[in-house]
Amino acid sequence: MTLEQLRIFIAVAEREHVTQASRMLNLTQSATSAAISALEDRHQVKLFDRIGRRIVLTEAGHAFLSEAHAVLKRAQAAESVLADLSGLKRGAFVLAASQTVANYWLPPHIQRFQKAHPGIAVSMTIGNTETVATAIHDGIADLGFVEGMIDDPALTVLTVATDEILIVVSPDHPWASRKPNPKRDFKTARWALREHGSGTRAIFEAALPALGVKDGAIDVALELPSNESVRAAVQAGDCVTAMSRLVVANALAAGTLRAIDIALPERRFSMLVHKERYRTAAAKAFATSLGETSQPEPVR
């Protein structure tokens, strides 16, 4: 059994389709089928049932899939250790970041790091605070960056920056010329917000009671999946939103959005690190390049 056979088996199992797996692996369909057949013949076990043009995992295939994933992860960990020995001349690591951090704060830091270490490959997945925490917990990514609150005992949470949340409206909105009373006006306004699980939304909603708005009593007219879609909706209509200054800075400068003079609590941009998983030298070096804080955030 080879690592290549395991990679082919996993690709076919996850897609339940030989042709699609072959394209992803850049192999011929015959080579992919031969690798699966070699595994089945060598160990006298059937991993897939062929049903028409589809293939589905057998019970034995399901059991083998989790073990195949585990073996490949161990192989990748071994490769990472060897890459470390090259003194940051080569290697790779994966970042996971929530949208505000990924789109507005991290890119210049990544660019500076890669300029200093051109042999290190950096890839990044983007989600919301909850999905980023899950990626670090499950070992899918090496370092996570979020703006929301995290309560996972398996993760160390380290502050790397701070951010300001602003309430913004279009220039034509009544609030642009008249400061609202949060206790009275927030309940009747039409709000455009990110989805549940977004750090920006969680922090805004947590701040509402202190402004006199209890029980989350606001009208969320639009719930959208990205900062850009929320910003565009507010610019084009009569909605109100709460967003990072990083996201709306250009719109404020251009006059297409107005910030309302109502203070919201400052929030932290946090780095998530799994307490027990191996962290490569490249990932450690990137964390250090951010000015990694030595003090973890207090447990909530």
Which of 84, 114, 144 is a domain's end point? 84
Which of 68, 84, 100 is a domain's end point? 84
Determine the pLDDT at residue 298. Answer: 42
Tell whether 149 and 214 lie within a shared domain.
Answer: no
- 251-280, pLDDT tens digit by residue? 999 999 999 999 998 888 999 999 998 888
Tell whether 98 and 111 lie within a shared domain.
Answer: yes
Tokens 């300029």 appear where? Answer: 115
Tell whether 272 and 135 lie within a shared domain.
Answer: yes
Q: Compute the C-alpha angle 255/258/264, nearest 5°.
A: 145
**pLDDT band of 242, cuts 50, 70, 90:** very high
Indicate which CATH number applies to the domain containing 46. 1.10.10.10
Tell whether 149 and 276 lie within a shared domain.
Answer: yes
Asked whether residue 300 is assigned to any structural domain, the reply reads: no
Q: Residue 27 pLDDT > 50, yes or no?
A: yes
Determine the pLDDT at residue 86. Answer: 67
More confident residue, 209 or 73: 209
- 29-53, pLDDT tens digit by residue? 889 889 888 988 888 889 888 887 7
Asked whether residue 146 is assigned to any structural domain, the reply reads: yes
65, 251, 181: which is closest to 57 by C-alpha? 65
Q: In whole angstroms, how far apart are CA 248 and each of 197, 259, 280? A: 21, 9, 35
Tell whether 79 and 142 lie within a shared domain.
Answer: no
Indicate which CATH number applies to the domain containing 224. 3.40.190.10
Asked whether residue 65 is assigned to any structural domain, the reply reads: yes
Q: Residue 293 pLDDT > 70, yes or no?
A: no
Asked whether residue 107 is assigned to any structural domain, the reply reads: yes
- Average pLDDT, whole number, for the chain? 88
Strand partners, 240: 191
Asked whether residue 299 is assigned to any structural domain, the reply reads: no
Tokens 């750090």 appear where? Answer: 199
Determine the pLDDT at residue 85. Answer: 63
Tokens matching residue 15? 């897609």
Which of 26, 61, 84 is a domain's end point? 84
**% the chain with pLDDT above 70:** 95
**pLDDT band of 296, cuts 50, 70, 90:** very low
Tokens matching residue 160? 């790397």
Tell whether 261 and 283 lie within a shared domain.
Answer: no
More confident residue, 249 or 280: 249
**pLDDT band of 297, cuts 50, 70, 90:** very low
Determine the pLDDT at residue 153. Answer: 93
- 58-99, pLDDT tens digit by residue? 888 888 888 888 888 888 878 777 777 667 877 889 999 998
Tell whether 157 and 276 lie within a shared domain.
Answer: yes
Q: Residue 216 pLDDT > 60, yes or no?
A: yes
Tell whether 199 and 230 lie within a shared domain.
Answer: yes
Tell whether 146 and 281 lie within a shared domain.
Answer: yes
Residues 123-150, mean pLDDT to the nearest whole number = 90
Asked whether residue 298 is assigned to any structural domain, the reply reads: no
Tell whether 7 and 60 lie within a shared domain.
Answer: yes
Tell whether 192 and 123 lie within a shared domain.
Answer: no
The structural domain count of the chain equals: 3
Angle between helical axes of 281-289 and 59-84 (0-180°, round to 10): 60
Tell whether 171 and 237 lie within a shared domain.
Answer: yes
Host domain of residue 179: 165-265
